[in-house]
């Protein structure tokens, strides 16, 4: 698998990276995280420029997310019917709906990197729920910075142990990333409760 990505990147450069992140956001089963890791290793070897790699991956992800969001916003019923034909995808949609209902824009942010396996589902449901376009864009853009930087950075830092890194990412991402996401959500909820307590305190300064 790693050799395939290396060959594609060596022959077509960052175009492969752009297409892979774009398509992975459109429900196409492409392991774009592994492509980014491979691209990061190319940056470490001097074969690709860092900013072109980051820019291609980031732009592809943003465009893909926007397309899915817009489809959900304009054709919600049709999209849900199509995607729910597979039981596994129907379950992901239901889980995405629950997360979005509870956390709103923060769910979009977390799904781009912490719950990447359901990111596309969250995006389409954000559109169906008529989440504000600007709110969606800002949360999504912030989250994709983490997603792209995390995987390109892994490839860059551990370019000499690429096979090991790719294997470990596949084995541990589900558990470690989920744990990290739960921690982030807990901190955010705690912050909200604290902010709410301050807002009802007569002596507290009104927030803008």
Domain ranges in the chain are 2-192
Over residues 95-138, the pLDDT tens digits come to 666 666 666 678 889 888 877 777 888 888 888 877 889 999 99
Over residues 78-103, the pLDDT tens digits come to 767 776 677 766 776 676 666 666 66
Q: Quickly list H helices, 50-113.
A: 50-74, 76-83, 87-103, 105-113
What average pLDDT does the structure give for the chain? 77
- Put simply, whether the predicted model's pTM sits higher than 0.75 gets the answer no
Angle, CA 185 vertex, CA 104 and CA 87 arms, to 5°:
65
- State whether the Cα torsion 22-139-132-83 is positive or negative: positive
pLDDT value of position 89:
67
Find all residues with CB under 8 Å of 76, minimum gap 6, and list them: 127, 128
Among residues 148, 163, 193, the alpha carbon closest in space to that of 40 is found at 148
């Amino acid at each position: 698998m790693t050799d395939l990505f290396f060959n594609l990147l060596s022959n077509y450069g960052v175009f492969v990276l752009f297409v892979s992140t774009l398509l992975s956001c459109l429900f196409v089963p492409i392991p774009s995280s592994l492509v980014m890791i491979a691209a990061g290793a190319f940056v470490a070897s001097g074969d690709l420029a860092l900013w072109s790699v980051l820019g291609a991956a980031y732009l592809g992800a943003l465009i893909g997310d926007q397309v899915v969001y817009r489809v959900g916003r304009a054709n919600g019923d049709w999209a849900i019917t199509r995607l729910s034909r597979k039981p596994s995808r129907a379950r992901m949609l239901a889980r995405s709906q629950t997360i979005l209902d509870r956390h709103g824009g923060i769910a979009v942010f977390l799904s781009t990197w912490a719950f990447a396996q359901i990111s596309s589902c969250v995006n389409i449901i954000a559109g169906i729920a008529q989440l504000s376009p600007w709110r969606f864009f800002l949360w999504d853009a912030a989250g994709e910075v983490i997603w792209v930087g995390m995987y390109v950075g892994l490839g860059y830092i551990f370019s000499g142990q690429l096979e090991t890194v790719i294997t470990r990412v596949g084995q541990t991402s589900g558990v470690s990333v989920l744990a990290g996401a739960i921690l982030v959500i807990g901190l955010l909820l705690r912050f909200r409760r604290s902010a709410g307590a301050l807002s009802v305190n007569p002596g507290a300064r009104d927030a803008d």
